[in-house]
Structure 1
Amino acid sequence: MEELVVDLSSNEGIILNLIWTYAGIGAIPLTAASSRNVVLLKFSDGRDSIKSLPTVLDYVFKTLEHQSLLIPSDIALQGTMDSFIDLAYKHNFDILDLESLRILDNYLLNETFLAGYSVTVADLVIFVSVYNWVLRSKQKERLEFGNLMRWFDHIQHLPEIITSIEGFSLISLFDEKLVITKEKKATKTASKKDAEGKKVKKSEVPVETRPYDDVTRLNILVGLVNSIRKHPGADKLYCLKIDIGTEVRSICSGLVEFLEPDQILNKKVCVLANLPPKVLRGEESNGMVLCVSNEDHTVVQLLEPPSDTPVGERISFDGYTGEPDGVLSTKKGKETFYMVQKDFICRDRIGYYKVVSTHNSCLIIERRIPTFVPQRVFAVAHL
């Protein structure tokens, strides 16, 4: 018999109460905690209690028959859902920083829900996590995050969302007067341009035109490994701290079976830096380390840039130009890295993209890369 004890006034408690109500979870009773900021899934058979919201959700939806309602059936979409839960967890389920809001806004450009074609746990978790920012923000600030606000308004009007959360109410996102004022200003500007004989185009929402297998969507940066330790809860993972120029990233990498710590520490590496953040067995992972393996994956080595490459430099591709995505999609059919990965290989210690012949290829970086296994390039951060 399980019992979930939570502080119902905390964001974690609000999220769990919303999920329990929305999914109709009755098998595990939800009990109000006497202390603040408590999340505790207790077992009557003596097993250790579970104390974090992501782990509680993972247990509940793997144990109970509620997967069909709030969990996508597609494994890739489940990974996307987990990434958004981890993003909220990283911010204590109260997302206020503009960088995270921009990540969400960019992702939602062409999406109705966060992880598939219907509401999932990710939508409920992120909705509660951004509610405080939306409530406190000024309307001009909200206009900067139009995709996020569209999604938020959709979620808050779904049946049993607002009515299930004590203290939450519908938020009027945009003041009609403000919108009208902006429209009048736009009309005045348009009239001026007409007078100058210039053609005026109606403002439109940007439409994604680049294919998802465009390699320039990847933001691969040169990083320097500052520290390394074994993951306390996963035998195959190292926990790395990697300087990528603008910040130091925490990244989990599945290299324990292949490399010793001294073969990684203080090395320059290639980091795929624009993946959604994840929490792997309780450890933050915000990126992937690119490596090279032989065909049967028995030998793995780091894909190293030249030693004189500056930390933070973006890896470019001959003949390809384009800006990287703010955050890469992890949805099935839109996973850029896995779509282009098959065209990354290493020959004679040099990394290539789309090798046809020695006279028709694209260097991953325009200098020699001292890697030693002439086979395929891949990422191992999430093994």
Structure 2
Amino acid sequence: MDIQIFSNLISKYVKEGSVPTTFEGSAKLFDNEVVKKFLPAGDITALLKTFDDILAVISLEDAKKRDGQLHKLNKDLLTKTFIFADTLSALDLAYYVILYNWMSKLNDKERFVFCNITRWFNLVQNQTPIVNVQPLVVISTTPPPPEKKEEKKPAAGAATATASADKKEENKKEKKPQQPKVVEPPKPEDISRFEIRVGKIVECKKHENADSLYVEKIDLGEAAPRQIVSGLVKFIPLETMIGHRVLVLCNLKPSNLKSVRSEGMVLCASNDDHTQVEFVEPPADAKIGERVMFDQYPGEFDKVLKKETVDAVLGCLSSNADKVATYKGDPFKTSAGSCFCKTISNGPIK
């Protein structure tokens, strides 16, 4: 483990005390007073064992032994934003240091196999204090295309024999009349076309070119946080943005807002005169990245929404009298229950 890099990182978060200068095992490392100040509250015994197990194999050429431990970590990160729940800690910094060289050597296909580790690693390396310590590993957020399987070509003699047999068989059969093509009816303009997912704001800053806009990084369970621009400066203080769980419309066509790319829209409710705006929120136990569903409108979402579909559907979103978010009265639902607004009832959502 590169203790110098770890010490540089931990000193960005804990300003007082003596950082570790030598690595004599994880027990001593995590017992250091500076490190302990940046450890999460809770039982981290299992995570320390996983750390030791990965540290023991991360440099091995034997991929079977190495990847077995990494797959365990990848599975564990499926439902977590950071190594320990939803908060960055010294555990993330330590895991980041021991995985840095491994991650930097992977290709896109290999990173996709460990997609949860890749998503976590990219989130950690983009934290502002960390960017200035280690060079960024360039990570693509687009899944690699599936491999094309090559069709086996028959031997020349076999091909000739097969072709002759096929021709004779074809001559025996009468040509069947062509069936008319079945024209599928157009999709209904309803909420099933929307890809709405549960997310969490992990970074937020004011737009450099527009005083009324925020630029957010939102964790949606993808390989990297998604960048979204929102006009919420007048309504929601910056200090309350980070850590907020939100709903994101993910299949809008990406756009540039004042020269900054935005890849989606955070759904919010407002009162009638638009003097109050607040997030539509998922239940606390909803999983990051899960899709919001509607009982009366099942179906697959569009890859990219057309403007006319967006306009038609957004006009039918609102909170009801109980402050539950609905589409034409049908609640927004997650595996943990319905989505809601904190204070706004009977207000439009968009």
Scaled to the shorter chain, the TM-score interval is 0.3 to 0.5
User: Looking at CA atoms only, which structure, 1 or 2, has the larger radius of gyration?
Assistant: 2
TM-score by length of 2: 0.46
TM-score by length of 1: 0.43
